[in-house]
């Protein structure tokens, strides 16, 4: 998985993010349609979060319910961000406007984009995932998007804690039990705050 600069899990420098230290200089850039292979690799990693390879690239490529996570379509409003460390993709977050005709697992309603997040395992634990989530949610608010959804398995406790920390809550009316939603409206400042 190093073809696009995505580091293998053993490529983290000693004392770097893998050991809970400073992840180095992080550059967050907008994702483009040309980042499709990064989204494909991230989708593969997300679907295999338990370890092993229950979902192969071939299975992801051939199944429409998985494949749609691999294609950013800016014309329909999709957007995302890539976090790079030393010029290599360490994580990415992307939002797709999947509709009722081709819903994702986190589908809430048409017009509510579904968020996907992937941070390479060697870079976890240093706040990169939370930073990417906040950038994506802030951008959604700037674009006038009121809510963002996602899907996560309950057993993925670390991911659930991260999503809840940034404001995601279960979406009980969703078709998928693992669907979560967050309102993007800015929170009111404390009295006397900015």
Query: In 24-175, which residue ranges form alpha helices assigned H by DSSP?
Result: 36-47, 57-62, 64-67, 128-142, 157-165
The per-residue pLDDT for 173 is: 74
Q: What is the reported pTM? A: 0.81
Fold type of domain 26-183: Aminopeptidase (3.40.630)
The per-residue pLDDT for 46 is: 92
Cβ-based neighbours of 100, under 8 Å, separated by 6 or more: 107, 110
Task: Find how far residue 116's CA is from the centre of its chain.
Answer: 3
**Does the pLDDT value for residue 24 go beyond 90?**
no
**Which stretches of the chain are assigned E, i.e. beta strand?**
26-30, 79-85, 88-96, 114-119, 147-151, 169-170, 179-183
**Does the pLDDT value for residue 9 go beyond 50?**
no
- Domain residue ranges of the chain, discontinuous segments joined by +: 26-183
Distance CA 16, CA 155 (A): 28
Radius of gyration (C-alpha) of the chain in whole angstroms: 16
The per-residue pLDDT for 167 is: 94
Q: Determine whether 104 is exposed, middle or buried from the number of CB atoms within 10 Å of its CB (0-12, 13-18, 19+).
A: buried
- Whose CA is closest to 138, among 73, 72, 187, 189? 187
pLDDT tens column, 80-121: 999 999 989 999 999 999 999 999 888 999 999 999 999 998
The chain-wide mean pLDDT, for the chain, equals 83
pLDDT tens column, 143-184: 999 999 999 998 999 999 999 999 999 997 777 778 999 999
Cβ-based neighbours of 142, under 8 Å, separated by 6 or more: none
């Amino acid at each position: 998985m190093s073809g696009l600069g995505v580091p293998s899990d053993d490529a983290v420098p000693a004392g770097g993010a893998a050991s809970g230290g400073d992840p180095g200089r992080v550059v967050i850039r907008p994702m483009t349609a040309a980042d499709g292979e990064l989204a494909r690799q991230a989708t593969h990693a997300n679907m295999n979060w338990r370890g092993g390879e229950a979902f192969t690239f071939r299975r992801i490529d051939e199944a429409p319910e998985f494949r749609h996570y691999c294609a950013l379509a800016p014309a329909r409003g999709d957007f995302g961000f890539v976090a790079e460390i030393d010029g290599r993709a360490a994580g990415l977050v992307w939002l797709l406007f999947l509709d009722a005709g081709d819903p994702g697992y986190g589908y809430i309603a048409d017009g509510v984009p579904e968020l996907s997040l992937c941070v390479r395992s060697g870079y976890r634990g240093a706040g990169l995932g939370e930073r990417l989530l906040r950038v994506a949610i802030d951008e959604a608010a700037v674009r006038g998007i009121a809510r963002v959804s996602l899907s996560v398995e309950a057993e993925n406790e670390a991911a659930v804690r991260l999503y809840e920390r940034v404001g995601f809550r279960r979406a009980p009316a969703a078709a998928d039990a693992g669907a979560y939603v967050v309102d993007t409206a800015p929170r009111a400042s404390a009295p006397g705050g900015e």
